Chains A and B, each alone.
Chain A
Amino acid sequence: MKLQRIEIENFASYYAKSDPIYLDTDPKKPLIIFIGGTGFGKTSLFDAINWALYGEEYESDLLKVKERSIVDYLNETALSEAANDDVRLNMSVTLYFEHDGDNGLKEYYIKQSLLLQPKKDKEGSISAQIVDRNHNLKEITPQGDHETIPYTRTFLDEILPNNVKSYFLFDGDRIHNLAKPGNSQEVQDAIYRVVDLEIVRNACEHLQETAIWYGKRAAKSAKGELGEVENAYSQELKFQNDLKTKIGDIKKERQAIKDQIELIDAKLKDLPETKTLQERKNQLNKELNQNRENQKVLKNQMREEASKAFLGLANVPLKELRDLLKEKRAKGEIPKHIRETFFQDLFDQEECICGTEFVAKEGNPVYDTLMIRLASEKNRSAEEDQLIDLYHVLNNAESIISNSREELTIKEDGVIELEKEEKSLVYQIQEIDAELGELPIEDVTILMSDRKKRKDRDDELIAELSTKQEERINSEKKLKELDDERKALGKKQEEAGAQHLRSELAKQAGDVLNTLYDDFAEKSRKTVEDLTIEEFKQFVISSSGYQVALSKDYSLEVLDSNGNRALQRLSMGQSQCLSLAFITAISRVSRKNPPLVIDMPFSRLDHSVHAAVSQRLPNLADQTILFLIPEVEWNKTTQPNLSKYAKHVYEMYFDETMRQTTITEVK
């Protein structure tokens, strides 16, 4: 199947009837690229392709997965206009494609359309109701006639079965999930569905059920002893089938437990790393707090120094004041009065400056005279002392200002250094937080106890499986005995014999298929494994050190050069490339040769693998349609690799006012 073009009408952000969007490719240019930002209508186009092909089945998927009804996809502007004009409106998608069926290459188109009636409620909000729906599948004959062919599941199964479409029409999330540890059920499911193991397994089961059905009919037709044997045979056959189902269920439960244990082991493996990172983060937080404390102290000191250094601004008036004081001092205006210490010195010496000796006691005339003078002079020299002190302070001010400026510079450098250190610490903590975000933060004890519970259940299942397998062997023996007996008796009654024959044929076919199933499954597994290995090597050069394997129970496994399991250690980019390699492998094994439609293939990919993936994408399928985000996915690395293989490159524009998408081809 190869898509040719799509026409959209009033679907999501695509208003009115769009011009045809051409999707044709050729072997040299197998890519179609749509470039558009988030919300520009890429996923709506992806949904439109799905809806055109699968109609109501896809509508059920939309409800389940996106919780959106198909009516929600009706274009807002078109609905509003129709409501105002009170007319019905159409929403439709028409997909033209070629398919190389058993009658050679033919052209078809498939159209899904809804006729809708707008409705306004009392609050004025507008909704729509489906009035009619149509799906048309037509073949365009070489003469140009459009011949209707029945829109059946059989036809769609032939071109691209719905149950496998998610492995060909897929988004970045699916790529992200496939190679995660513990996802073997998803991988197994992909192989079952895409490479037809599911068909063989179901055919096996249905043949066995049919054998029972004929057995019961034979029992009804038979009489007497034969009737009893037929009944016994029928019951034993049913018992054996129940056993097979039970054994299958046990195996499935064991697989689920194995996945859960693997997931726990992966978490346990990462926990020491979490612990180390947490310890490092605590240490860095401590250093950060100390750094901020040191900054606070330095800034306080700077404030003090700054107040001194700012005195420099008053340098001129201070100099004038100092000169004034100096002049007054020289003139003897300061100090003008006799100081108290001078009198104290005379009292200590008991001798006046005139040479008169006296006793420094009350009653002595010299002493009393001096005391009276002292009283008159007391406190009169205090202001003068302050002026003299000020004079000395002003003399030192210049050196104080200069020292403060130097101190301020040193402390400012200190703060800058601390701020740099703070930034680096914050960055390191953010880095650790990002790493921690990707690692489990769980309690080892709980995980270990959880693991033990699951392991115990697995042991129980192993025991149960062994019992059931033994019962099955015994049942097989009993069935053989009963079959011999009923054959002998059955010859007596023709009708019962005829039913025997049918029962036996169905059982024989079921048994043969059962035997072949294991070989077929193993061969399919091996082929998918070989192709996955080959593709993975093409995607990532750094994968050469790893050995990829698809285990017997369908787990994608990666071993390092020492043979240790390394799936958990793959980088996000490597594991997503492994998923892409796997999808490509099953696509090839399926031989269905469908187009690959990938919504945002690079969105979760590490930029380092953009080059490798973009070089590989053109070779994945005969036709690959990519929906890419500008810059993030359509960038300097991917653009040169993809554009030379692109038949059409479209840019998507979104008019926010009109809420409409327009698509323009880039020439």
Chain B
Amino acid sequence: MKRNNIGRLEEVLNQIEDEKVREIVRGVFKVEISYRSTERVNFPWQRIRDVIEGVARTSQLQLEDKPHANEATKN
């Protein structure tokens, strides 16, 4: 995220404890900032979904990795 873009919004992000949620909010802020204009047409929903998708995949991978880790411990 560009330094000048985020400005005061960093204060909001700093208050979010859950890392996943923080990443989602950060990504959504980016989308909102680039969309900001007087004409509110064609909102880029796909970009919001991409943000969720990215974080969800990381979470799923982490979930999938846990059993492997357990198996490794067993072995």
Q: Does A116 contact B (CB under 8 A)?
A: no
Interchain CA distance A206-B35 in the complex, whole Å: 12
> CB distance A154 to B7 under 8 Å?
no
Q: For the complex formed, measure the closest distance between the CB of B47 and the CB atoms of chain A, giving whole angstroms.
A: 10
Flag whether A257 is at the interface (Cβ < 8 A): no
The 8 A CB mask of B3-16 against A (1 = contact, 0 = none) is 11101110110011
Q: Return chain B residues, CB-CB under 8 Å to A162.
A: 37-38
Query: Which B residues touch A200, using CB under 8 A?
Result: 9, 12, 29
Known: A102-B2, A154-B34. A207 touches B24 (CB 8 A): yes
B residues less than 8 Å from A163 (CB atoms)? 36-38
Query: Using Cβ atoms and an 8 Å threshold, which residues of chain A touch B34?
Result: 153-154, 157
- Asked if residues A505 and B24 are in contact (CB atoms below 8 Å), the reply is yes
Give every chain A residue within 8 A of B37 (Cβ-Cβ).
57, 153, 157, 161-163
Tell me, in angstroms, the Cα distance from A207 to B59 when the chains sit together. Answer: 18
Q: Residues of B contacting A516 with CB < 8 Å?
A: 12, 15-16
Question: Are B21 and A509 closer than 8 Å at their CB atoms?
Answer: yes
26 contacts between A and B (CB under 8 A): A101-B2, A102-B3, A154-B33, A162-B37, A163-B37, A195-B8, A198-B36, A199-B33, A199-B36, A200-B12, A202-B32, A206-B31, A207-B24, A498-B56, A501-B60, A502-B52, A505-B21, A505-B56, A509-B24, A512-B21, A513-B12, A516-B12, A523-B11, A590-B8, A592-B4, A592-B7
Interface string of A175-206 (1 = CB under 8 A from B): 00000000000000000000110111011001
> Interface size for chain B: under 10, 10 to 19, 20 to 34, or 35 or more residues?
35 or more
- Choose one: A100, A203, A214, A520; the contact of B32 (CB below 8 Å): A203
Q: A154-B34, A200-B12 are in contact. Are A502 and B53 (CB under 8 A)?
A: yes
CB distance from B70 to the nearest CB of A (A): 18
Q: Which residues of A line the B interface, CB within 8 A?
A: 57, 100-102, 153-154, 157-158, 161-163, 195-196, 198-200, 202-203, 206-207, 209-210, 213-214, 498, 501-502, 505-506, 508-509, 512-513, 516, 519-520, 523-524, 589-592
Q: List chain B positions with a Cβ less than 8 A from chain A.
A: 2-5, 7-9, 11-12, 15-16, 18, 20-21, 24-25, 28-29, 31-34, 36-39, 43, 45, 48-49, 52-53, 55-56, 59-60
The distance in angstroms between the C-alpha atoms of A213 and B48, with both chains bound, is 11
CB distance from B64 to the nearest CB of A (A): 12
B8 in complex: contacting residue of A154, A196, A206, CB < 8 Å: A196
A99 → B minimal CB distance (Å): 8
Q: Which residues of B contact A498 (CB under 8 A)?
A: 56, 60
Report the minimal beta-carbon distance from A476 to chain B, rounded to whole angstroms: 18
Additional A-B contacts beyond A502-B56, A589-B8 (10; CB < 8 A):
A57-B38, A158-B4, A196-B7, A199-B32, A202-B32, A206-B43, A505-B59, A508-B21, A590-B8, A592-B7
